Copies of this chain bind each other. A is one copy, B any other.
Amino acid sequence: MSARQINVTYRLETSGDIAALAAKIASDQSTGTFTELPNETADVRARCAARVASITPLPHSDTPAIPDPNGHGPYHRADVVISYPMDAVGTDIAALVTITIGGVYAVKGLSGVRVMDIDLPPEWSCHPGPQFGMQGSRDLMGVTDGPMIASIIKPSLGLLPDATAEVVAQLCAAGVDFIKDDEKLMSPAYSPLEARVKAIMPVIRAHEDKTGKRVMYAFGISAADPDTMMRNHDIVRAHGGTAAVVNINSIGYGGMSFLRKRSELCLHAHRNGWDILTRHPRLGMEFRAYQKLWRLLGVDQFQINGIRAKYWEPDDSFVQSFKDVTTPIFSPKDCPLPVVCSGQWGGQAVDTFKRTGGSLDLMYLAGGGVHGHPMGMAAGVRAIRQAWDAASTGQTLIDYAKDHPELAAALRKWGDTSQ
């Protein structure tokens, strides 16, 4: 039997004793239950018992993360590492999340719990990981260096297929590398996936014939039923499409696993639904832990918000997410392409560049920031490229805008003077 362990770090909070809580979790999540068991022998424990590997105290809190109407503080806090034997868990993701995460969330006596990280042994490199990742994405888009500039069909919902294709033509002409369906668009009655694919792909091909540039279009293929999702995948592939938007939480580990084994498309992951697991800093899960599972399952491109996002996420959290997805789990091949998005219009390029260590290996995805540019979509894309040129050459946006009217117009409309 292997002596390898899976080490999971939890940030625990309790008005009781942290060490007792940690021990209870290790017992409940492996060989124990609420009462002593005659069959919990030394053999059984040697094979499968989890153990508390370390407890690192943190400052206590006067208030609980989860309301505790009958209790009172101080609420003790610590980062606790629990080691699970590989024999107990194996390499299945459903087993991992059931044993090391799901049950822990149910434990009585805690007022806060957050999964901080999951440290997986080399056996876990058996998972497929990304099929395309960063380099495969570059190859498919023909973008050899610099950020990949991307946009989204807007409005998110409501356009008929032909109207969508018109927007695609405008975005292609505007010079984007990548276009995607909004994550909310899958296959509604007014825009069934097949009709949309048939309307859009000729536009993509016509643009390629004219310019030599093949824009990557990611179609919303998600469906709760994996068979439906695979039919959607096959429709996209049959019409020459190269990518798909996948709402990873909405299809689940099962949907993603099923798709990745069969996929010929570059899989662009939207983590819609994730936020409720991470917004409260003392509950849920760090993105660091979460993203590992989806990368192992095969996400090629991972949306991670951006600086000054339109969503709730603070900049520091985005910066950490960027670092997380670009840090190999087992090998650089398991890194997806980071997709910087949410309320982006170019004005965040300099700060993004500075705060992510000067990386240009990213997709920069702007919906409203392209569609809403006062001089039109082409100007919106040019403004974004100008902003990245400024960033990568160490100039400020304000200076660079002096002889770049599109960037200047974007700054006037959305500008933050801190730029």
Binding site for B on A (CB under 8 A): 1, 29-40, 43-45, 47-49, 63, 65-67, 87-90, 92-95, 97-99, 101-103, 105-110, 113, 154-159, 163, 167, 183-184, 186-190, 222-229, 247, 249-258, 261, 270, 272-277, 279-285, 297, 309-313, 343, 367-369, 371-372, 414
Q: How far is the CA of A184 from the CA of B100 in the complex (A)?
A: 9
6 shortest interchain CB distances as A-B pairs: A252-B252, A254-B255, A102-B272, A102-B273, A44-B158, A48-B158
Q: How far is the CA of A40 from the CA of B31 in the complex (A)?
A: 57
In the bound complex, residues from chain B placing their C-beta under 8 Å from that of A343 are 34
> Separation in Å of the A58 CB from the closest CB of chain B?
15
Q: Which residue of B lies closest to A229 (CB)?
A: B254
Q: How far is the CA of A237 from the CA of B108 in the complex (A)?
A: 36
The residue from B34, B93, B254, B272 contacting A98, defined by CB atoms under 8 A apart? B272
> Separation in Å of the A381 CB from the closest CB of chain B?
15
Tell me whether A95 and B188 are in contact (CB under 8 A).
yes
Known: A34-B343, A186-B92, A371-B37. A67 touches B251 (CB 8 A): no
Known: A105-B273, A261-B225. A368 touches B87 (CB 8 A): no
In the bound complex, residues from chain B placing their C-beta under 8 Å from that of A95 are 184, 186-188, 222-223, 250
Known: A1-B190, A222-B94, A224-B297. A34 touches B368 (CB 8 A): yes
In the bound complex, residues from chain B placing their C-beta under 8 Å from that of A98 are 183-184, 186, 222, 247, 250, 270, 272-273
In the bound complex, residues from chain B placing their C-beta under 8 Å from that of A99 are 157, 184
Tell me whether A190 and B47 are in contact (CB under 8 A).
yes
Q: Which residue of B lies closest to A40 (CB)?
A: B155
Known: A30-B157, A34-B343, A184-B103. A87 touches B190 (CB 8 A): yes
Of listed A107, A186, A414, residue having the most chain B CB within 10 A: A186
Q: Which residue of B lies closest to A377 (CB)?
A: B38
In the bound complex, residues from chain B placing their C-beta under 8 Å from that of A311 are 106-108
In the bound complex, residues from chain B placing their C-beta under 8 Å from that of A252 are 249, 251-256
Q: Which residue of B lies closest to A188 (CB)?
A: B90
The residue from B1, B47, B155, B188 contacting A32, defined by CB atoms under 8 A apart? B155
> Separation in Å of the A97 CB from the closest CB of chain B?
5
Q: How far is the CA of A102 from the CA of B261 in the complex (A)?
A: 26
The residue from B33, B105, B159 contacting A156, defined by CB atoms under 8 A apart? B33
Tell me whether A89 and B188 are in contact (CB under 8 A).
yes
Tell me whether B94 and A250 are in contact (CB under 8 A).
yes
Tell me whether B254 and A39 are in contact (CB under 8 A).
no
In the bound complex, residues from chain B placing their C-beta under 8 Å from that of A110 are 312
> Separation in Å of the A87 CB from the closest CB of chain B?
6
In the bound complex, residues from chain B placing their C-beta under 8 Å from that of A274 are 102, 105
The residue from B108, B257, B270 contacting A310, defined by CB atoms under 8 A apart? B108
Q: Which residue of B lies closest to A297 (CB)?
A: B224
Tell me whether A66 and B33 are in contact (CB under 8 A).
no
Tell me whether B37 and A94 are in contact (CB under 8 A).
no
A sample of 14 more A-B contacts (CB under 8 A), given A37-B154, A48-B157, A92-B228, is A31-B156, A33-B155, A33-B367, A49-B158, A67-B281, A97-B249, A102-B183, A113-B276, A225-B258, A251-B252, A251-B253, A251-B254, A277-B277, A280-B283
Tell me whether B224 and A92 are in contact (CB under 8 A).
yes
Known: A255-B254, A280-B280. A39 touches B94 (CB 8 A): no
| A-B contact list, 26 entries, CB within 8 Å | A30-B157, A31-B155, A33-B155, A33-B368, A44-B155, A47-B190, A49-B158, A92-B228, A98-B247, A102-B250, A102-B272, A102-B274, A106-B272, A107-B312, A108-B309, A224-B254, A224-B297, A225-B254, A229-B254, A249-B252, A251-B252, A252-B255, A252-B256, A254-B254, A276-B283, A277-B277
